[in-house]
Chain A
Amino acid sequence: MTAAEHVPLRMLAVSQRFGRRTAVCNLTLECSAGTMTCLAGPNGAGKSTILAIAAGLLRPSSGRVILAQRDPADVAHPPAIGYVPQRSAFPGVLTAGEVFELARSTRRPTPEDSDDILDVTGIRAVFDRPLGELSGGWQRRLGLATALLPPSAALLLDEPFVGLDPDTLDRLLSHLRRRVDSGAIVLLATHEFELAGLLRPDLVVIDDGHLCARLAAPDGSLREHYRTALSGCDALEAEVSRDDR
């Protein structure tokens, strides 16, 4: 096995086009086992698209993605991932327990791991209730519960902190820390810099589909680092467009 194969997630020169619009442009990103990476960028920068590509929901227009030595978009042998989209959608007639049970029966975590996820998300309290009757917050927690169930090559979380109460947030943050310590990779897109900063993640700044900056577990305020990186990116962009003219 070469050194490169130890890297659980590699996105190599990945571009994603939707018609004429380029959502992600020539992005190269590597995330090693046991690391947490925070994708940051303005709305529409391409963060969710990057996560969807890493989750295998989108096949990139060009470039290559390898997750746990597999192509995540391989529909025959998909790698096990935990993916939380911005908006989780479940059929309203099913109960929370049924949805969780399906995830548990396909992932097959140990009973301890399963109980741990139930404790972190607290969804045991609504197991018997149809999803159509649950609030957005509970649905969000259920989405997290099904995604966080081990084993996973990577946890790909799109705005995971939105809609959660403070207690659940605390449990989620410590759970994510434990997952990283146990070797999982966590890639999250968020604007909640204060919360994400508590996890000391690597910071990857995306703007207009381009990777602007990558900082390895920066000290201090994540928000400040983000602003500095983004302004540098804007200055660079202005310079490039001036040169083009």
Chain B
Amino acid sequence: MTDKRRGNGAHPRHSAGFRILPVARREMALLGRGRMAWGVGLLLLVTTWLPFMLVPLRSGTWGIAPLDGAVLSSITLGAIVLPLVALLVGADTLAGEMEDGTLSALVTLPISRRALLIGKYLGRAAFLLGAEILACGSVSVAAGIAHGFTGARDFLAVAGSGLLLSLSTLGVGVVLGAGGRGRARALGVALLTWVTLAFVVDGFLLLSVVALAPPPPARPGVHGHAEINAPDRSGATSAVDGVLMPAVIALDPIDLFRILAVRASTATGERLAASLSGMRSTTATTIFAASWLGWLVVPPWLAYRRFRRVILR
């Protein structure tokens, strides 16, 4: 036995990676074999295919939707479904295992809580990534066949933006479940957070936009909240458009997703070019990039701050 040879117990110092990756693999295995995997996969498949196939029903016909309509509907639906899924998956990350008592076996291994949290977060993120690639990838292929290269690219743009939204709300979910107050409570708070981000904050932002915006648009937009940045009638980008509006939008990752997805998609970008004028300035782009970074980094850091104080038995 090698206890003496290894300095009798202080664990050898290796890079954190070799501890993070096994935890991430374990997390993916845990998720992949649970019922949650089927539920998440099915939900994402349905919500990505639905706009693509059913939008034409508005005109009473079956078939493939026009590209811009399908993309905008996907963005609207994705803005509701993706944060819901990611928040619930995130809230269960620590709360579930704390409640089941299975986390104690992990923390008594020579893994720091930081490595443990990162591993679990990465495992869940990889799972969500896989589910989204499956759902959006299949629709992108179909859109490529129906609408050519532009169609595939537009859906991939939505998928990429959706991935950022999923990762940021996954982090928020992990924070909510890191306090050790039980799975039911964590999931309940996650649902409440979803309602707040998807509807309450969104409504508040919309009101702010209306209040802050220059003269109202002559023709109201028709798709979701993509028109929240009303174009400046004077043609010049006002200070409100240039800084304040992007800053307000940055408060909600769901609105960040909408702006990014609409901007990245050729069909919708062209259609809403006037509305997006203020969102394409360098200042706005910088604010959005910083906000994404913040939404991706700060929640996992907060989760670690909470998790390190939790007593596990």
What is the interface of chain A, defined by CB distance below 8 A to chain B? 8, 33, 52, 55-59, 68-70, 75-83, 85, 87-91, 93-94, 98-99, 101-103, 105-110, 113, 116, 143, 146-147, 150-154, 178-179, 182-184
Contact = CB atoms under 8 A, between A and B. Distances in A.
B109 A152 contact: no
Contacts of A179: 1, 3
B97 A57 contact: no
B10 A183 contact: no
Given A94-B29, A146-B105, A102 B9 contact: no
B113 A76 contact: yes
A133 B119 CA distance: 26
A6 B102 CA distance: 33
Contacts of B12: 108, 151
A89 B100 contact: yes
Given A75-B112, A98-B29, A52 B313 contact: yes
Contacts of A80: 9-11, 110
A147 B22 CA distance: 17
B26 A94 contact: yes
A123 B1 CA distance: 19
Contacts of A105: 18-19, 22
A182 B100 CA distance: 35
B312 A57 contact: yes
B87 to A, nearest CB: 22
Interface of B: 1-4, 6-12, 14, 18-19, 22-23, 25-26, 29-30, 33-34, 97, 100-102, 104-114, 308, 311-313
A62 B132 CA distance: 49
A102 B101 contact: no
9 contacts: A75-B114, A78-B107, A81-B110, A89-B104, A93-B34, A101-B22, A110-B2, A146-B109, A152-B3
Contacts of B112: 75-78
A69 B2 CA distance: 19
A131 B10 CA distance: 30
A103 B109 contact: yes
B11 to A, nearest CB: 4
B313 A94 contact: no
A102 B10 contact: no
Find the residue from A56, A58, A91, A94 having the highest chain B CB count within 10 A.
Answer: A91
Contacts of B102: 89-91
Contacts of A183: 3-4, 8
A15 to B, nearest CB: 16
Contacts of B2: 109-110, 113, 150-151, 182
Contacts of A91: 30, 97, 100, 102
A132 to B, nearest CB: 10
Given A70-B10, A151-B6, A98 B108 contact: no
Contacts of B106: 102
A200 to B, nearest CB: 18
A109 B2 CA distance: 8
A143 B8 CA distance: 21
B9 A81 contact: yes
B10 A150 contact: no
Contacts of A76: 112-114, 308
Find the residue from B9, B109, B113 having the highest chain A CB count within 10 A.
Answer: B9
A59 B311 contact: yes
B311 A58 contact: yes
Contacts of B30: 91, 93-94
A184 B3 contact: yes
A69 B10 contact: yes
Contact of B113 (A8, A75, A101, A113): A75
